[in-house]
Structure 1
Amino acid sequence: MITKRLAGLLAPLALLLTTGAAGASASDGAPAPTDPGPVYATVTDTSGKLSLQTFGRPDGKDMVFRISGSVYANIEGNSLDPAMRHGQKLFNIEGYNIRRLYRVPDTNQLYQLSREIVFYTDPADPQRVLREWQNPIDGKTYPVVPINNDTVNFGPFTITPAYAGPPLQQLHDESVWTSDIPVRTNFATTLGEQFGLVGGVYAAQEMFDFSVDKREVAARTEAGVPEGAMKTKISWARTSPWAPFMCLPETEVRGQLTYHARSWSLSSYAAIEPWLRAEIEAGYPLYKAAPAQPGPSENSWTSFYNKQLGKGATTWASWCAANGHA
Structure 2
Amino acid sequence: MNKRLATSIAMCVVMLASTGTAAVAEETSDPTHPGPVYIQVTDQAGKLALQTYGRPDGEDMVFRISGSVYANVEGNALAPGIVHGQKLFNIEGYNIRQLYRVPNTNQLYQLSREIVFYTDPNNPTQILTQWTNPIDGKTYPVVPINNANVNFGPFNVTSSFVGPTLRTMHDEVEWTSDIPVRTNFGTTLGESFGLKNGTYSAMEMFDFYVDLDEVYARATGNGWYPAGHMKTKISWARTSPWAPFMCLPETSVQGQLTYHARSWSLAGYSSLEPWIRTAVDANWPLYKTSPSAPGTSENSWTSFYNKQLGGGTSTWAQWCATNGA
> If the length of structure 2 is used for normalisation, what is the TM-score?
0.91
The structure with the greater share of residues assigned to helix is 2
Q: CA deviation at 1:29?
A: 4.9
Equivalent-residue separation in structure 1 for 2:176 and 2:131 (angstroms) = 34
Within a 5 Å distance, the mapping from 1:254-269 to structure 2 comes to 254-269=254-269
Please identify runs of 4+ aligned residues in structure 1 that moved more than 6 A.
Answer: none
Give the structure 1 partner of residue 298 of structure 2.
298
Equivalent-residue separation in structure 2 for 1:119 and 1:30 (angstroms) = 37
Give the structure 1 partner of residue 308 of structure 2.
308
Q: CA deviation at 1:140?
A: 0.3
Give the structure 2 partner of residue 205 of structure 1.
203
Give the structure 2 partner of residue 324 of structure 1.
324
Equivalent-residue separation in structure 2 for 1:298 and 1:137 (angstroms) = 29
- Alpha-carbon displacement from aligned partner over 1:3-49 (angstroms, at most 9, x marks no partner): xxxxxxxxxxxxxxxxxxxxxx99x9533100100110110000000
Q: CA deviation at 1:193?
A: 0.3
Give the structure 2 partner of residue 8 of structure 1.
none
Unaligned runs of 5+ in 2: 1-23
Equivalent-residue separation in structure 2 for 1:154 and 1:276 (angstroms) = 25
Unaligned runs of 5+ in 1: 1-24
| 1:85 corresponds to 2:83 | yes
Give the structure 1 partner of residue 134 of structure 2.
136
**SS of the residue aligned with 1:295?**
coil
Q: Is the 8 A contact 2:31 2:103 kept in 1?
A: yes
**SS of the residue aligned with 2:217?**
helix
Rg larger in structure: 2
**SS of the residue aligned with 1:275?**
helix
Q: Is the 8 A contact 2:60 2:267 kept in 1?
A: no
Equivalent-residue separation in structure 1 for 2:311 and 2:36 (angstroms) = 40
Q: Which amino acid aligns with 2:322?
A: A
Equivalent-residue separation in structure 2 for 1:192 and 1:239 (angstroms) = 23
Give the structure 2 partner of residue 107 of structure 1.
105
- Alpha-carbon displacement from aligned partner over 1:239-282 (angstroms, at most 9, x marks no partner): 00000000000001000000000000012211100000000001
Residue among 31, 50, 53 paired with 2:51:
53
Give the structure 2 partner of residue 147 of structure 1.
145
Equivalent-residue separation in structure 1 for 2:197 and 2:157 (angstroms) = 39
Give the structure 2 partner of residue 219 of structure 1.
217
Equivalent-residue separation in structure 1 for 2:319 and 2:184 (angstroms) = 20
Equivalent-residue separation in structure 2 for 1:198 and 1:108 (angstroms) = 41
> If the length of structure 1 is used for normalisation, what is the TM-score?
0.91
**SS of the residue aligned with 1:184?**
strand
Q: Is the 8 A contact 2:240 2:256 kept in 1?
A: yes
- Alpha-carbon displacement from aligned partner over 1:283-325 (angstroms, at most 9, x marks no partner): 0000000000111110000000000000000000000000000
Q: Which amino acid aligns with 1:31?
A: S
Q: Which amino acid aligns with 1:99?
A: R
Report the count of equivalent residues: 300
Equivalent-residue separation in structure 2 for 1:160 and 1:32 (angstroms) = 19
What percent of counterpart residues are identical? 71
Q: Is the 8 A contact 2:33 2:58 kept in 1?
A: yes
